[in-house]
Chain A
Amino acid sequence: DGGITQSPKYLFRKEGQNVTLSCEQNLNHDAMYWYRQDPGQGLRLIYYSQIVNDFQKGDIAEGYSVSREKKESFPLTVTSAQKNPTAFYLCASSSRARSGIQYFGAGTRLSVL
């Protein structure tokens, strides 16, 4: 089945620790995105990538880093510089052929220990 797989479903971070959230898609989509969702805040764009080896900052990129070495994969690292990382993180992808429509993974819930 085609889709977007995020792992893990739940993640706990200790103080000063970097953690990496995985996102893999087998939809052959060019573009991939990372969002953060907090209660009452809606979806906020962290980073996005339209092509392999290229990515751009979104609205709240500070404290996060990404890579796009393969078309299928777009991992997100939450660094120790992100002081308030507790949130629901969503990965999405889209195809050039259908402008704008994004398909989402099931999300990763990150909490601080």
Chain B
Amino acid sequence: QKEVEQDPGPLSVPEGAIVSLNCTYSNSAFQYFMWYRQYSRKGPELLMYTYSSGNKEDGRFTAQVDKSSKYISLFIRDSQPSDSATYLCAMSYSGGSNYKLTFGKGTLLTVNP
């Protein structure tokens, strides 16, 4: 079983739709959870960051972590064509000297005008 599983899509939605992106993971030691957005031929940019369980909201974006189910989600409300990108989930262990991130393979999202 891979440490992090992410549906690669592609996912195509009309403008204004609510988008749900998800990752599952197997390692219960993960404590820090991130979502990155990557436009074509660009480097990933940090979108959301959550520590442990719970929700975090930032404008149209909401990140959810359910540690009991080992499941994280990113919701995009009122999606825009500019949201079209690949979304990568990532996670890391708590503290210590290990700063390595484990990434999902990314979900390609297209928002159609």
List chain A positions with a Cβ less than 8 A from chain B.
4, 6, 31, 33, 40-43, 45, 48, 50, 88, 90, 94, 96, 98-107, 109
Contacts and interface: CB of A to CB of B under 8 A. Distances in A.
B106 A42 contact: yes
B99 A94 contact: yes
Contacts of B101: 100, 102
A109 B46 contact: no
Contact of B100 (A42, A48, A106): A48
Contacts of B49: 98, 101
Contact of B103 (A4, A43, A96): A43
B34 interface: yes
Given A41-B105, A43-B88, A99 B99 contact: yes
Contacts of B90: 100, 102
A100 B104 CA distance: 15
A91 to B, nearest CB: 8
A50 B99 contact: yes
B44 A104 contact: yes
Nearest to A107: B43
Nearest to A43: B103
A104 B95 CA distance: 21
Contacts of B60: none
Nearest to A56: B100
